[in-house]
Amino acid sequence: MTTFPDLFRLEGRTAFVTGAAGFLGQEYAEALLEAGANVVFADVDGERAAAAAARHGDAHGDRAWSVVCDVASSESVEAATEAACGRFGRIDVLVNNAALTAKVGSAQMRDYFAPFEEYPLDVWERALAVNLTGVFLCCQAVGRRMAAQGRGSIINISSTYGLGGPDQRIYTGVTNPYDPDLPLNTPIPYSATKAAVLGVTRYLATYWGERGVRVNCLTPGGTYEEHEPAFVSAYSARVPMGRMAHHDEYRGAILFLASDASSYMTGANLVVDGGWTAW
- Annotated catalytic residues are 190
151-180 burial, b if ≥16 CB within 10 A, otherwise e? Answer: ebbbbbbbbbbbbeebeeebbeebebeeee
Q: Contact, 59 vs 36, CB < 8 A?
A: no
Q: Contact, 51 vs 25, CB < 8 A?
A: no
Give φ, ψ of 18 to 5 degrees.
Answer: -85, 155
Distance between CA atoms of residues 98 and 229, nearest Å: 27
Q: Contact, 174 vs 203, CB < 8 A?
A: no
At residue 39's C-alpha, the angle toward residues 36 and 43, to 5°, is: 160
Distance between CA atoms of residues 155 and 144, nearest Å: 15
Strand, helix or coil for residue 221: coil
CA 87, 20, 112, 180 torsion: positive or negative?
Answer: negative
